[in-house]
Amino acid sequence: MYQCNLYSNVVSALLLASIAVSSTALAQIDTALGPQLNIGHRGASAYAPEHTFYAYDLAMEMDVDMLECDLFLTKDEVLICIHDSTVDRTSDGSGRVQDFTLDELRALDFGSWFGIEFSSAKIVPFEEQLDCYLDHNPLMRFHVETKDSAQGRAEAVLVEVLARKGLLDTGDIQTSTIVMQSFDASSLERIKQLSELPTAFLFARRTSFELLQWVASGNGPDYIDAFAPNSAAIFNDPTSVQRFHANGHDVHTWTVNERTQMDYLLALGVDAIFTNNPDILRAAIDDKGSGTSPEQRGNPSDFKRGCQGIAGRVVSNKGPGDVWARRDSGRGVVRVEKAAASDLTNYSGPRGGD
């Protein structure tokens, strides 16, 4: 009982302190820690079926800095991009993702639910997303969310795949080709035990004492690089952005589709926004002049739609896919370039890597 009272008193005190700070500083403007980034949430998913090449192509055309992938493992342990744990909402099939092999998923239509003109849309394996958009643009970056750890298999397979492809060690949270995100802090901790991939911790409401402490102090454990509150959490506590920045943590927020909200969050200094409407966000960031330059983003003005030559080729965690190597772009931005597998130096992460 005493412990329970103590717990609730501490929680109340932290809450009050946090609210007091936020109410006095609504008008305070902060500066992002780097260029403010435009992340295509499930691709340009306002305009095309989410997590398909249609949506990713459109996002690149709308000049995003990063593409998102929500990761699940198939029955045969291939990483694919899909948001829900079932295929019911976004395909003509039904059932749990984990009960389908990749081949079985490839037979489903992932586009007609959004519009009949997208009926040819297929499931996208994560490796094909990487190869396709790095092939179009070696500066493209990917914000990758573990949706289901599958008892740690998802993180292990992810690190194994990225090590094989040379994409584990390409920079920090502001430069890395791959950024890992999760609502599950233990998933990020596992990733950091296996690699040095930068991480972002997703949250909406403050659902634990631990999270309450992290938000109140603006700091968290070493395995978290960026904090990723939803936009409502920032509207309720705008100075949290400054607190995270004061402790060196970038702030990535989601999912923001309206210009006025984008402008407000950009003025607060958030470092990145996930959006279904990358065209609206591109205009907001460009008008503010606080984003990356077109050269830093590197998106081509024209490219072959539909990921021709890459779509459909991955069959397992062994590929086949491309191998990439880190290069200095000469503009202060790390880029990856296609490499021969023999060019890939062995990765040695904090605990022996791959």
- Site string (25-44) toward ligand G3P, x via CB under 6 A: ----------------x---
| Chain centre distance of CA 201 | 10
- Nearest approach in angstroms of CB 260 to ligand G3P is 20
- Nearest approach in angstroms of CB 252 to ligand G3P is 8
Q: Which is nearer to ligand G3P, 195 or 276 (CB)?
A: 276
- Nearest approach in angstroms of CB 70 to ligand G3P is 5
Which of helix, strand or coil describes residue 328? strand
Residues 71-90, interacting with ligand G3P (CB under 6 A)? 83
Number of continuous H segments (helices) and E segments (strands) in the chain: 12, 12
**Quick check: is 83 catalytic?**
yes
The answer to whether residue 275 forms part of the interface with ligand G3P (CB under 6 A) is no
| Identified binder of ligand G3P from the candidate list 70, 127, 160, 225, rule CB under 6 A | 70
Tell which residue, 20, 70, 10, has the closest CA to residue 208. Answer: 10
CA angle 71, 74, 76 (to 5 degrees): 135
| Identified binder of ligand G3P from the candidate list 53, 72, 214, 274, rule CB under 6 A | 274
- Nearest approach in angstroms of CB 257 to ligand G3P is 12
Query: Cα separation of 222 and 219, whole Å?
Result: 9
Question: Per DSSP, which regions of the chain are E strands?
Answer: 37-40, 66-73, 79-81, 124-125, 141-146, 178-182, 199-203, 226-229, 250-253, 272-275, 323-328, 334-339
**Left (φ > 0), alpha (ψ -120 to 50) or beta: where does 78 sit?**
beta
The answer to whether residue 149 forms part of the interface with ligand G3P (CB under 6 A) is no
Active site residues per annotation: 41, 83
**Residues interacting with ligand G3P, by CB under 6 A?**
41, 70, 83, 145, 181, 202, 254-255, 274
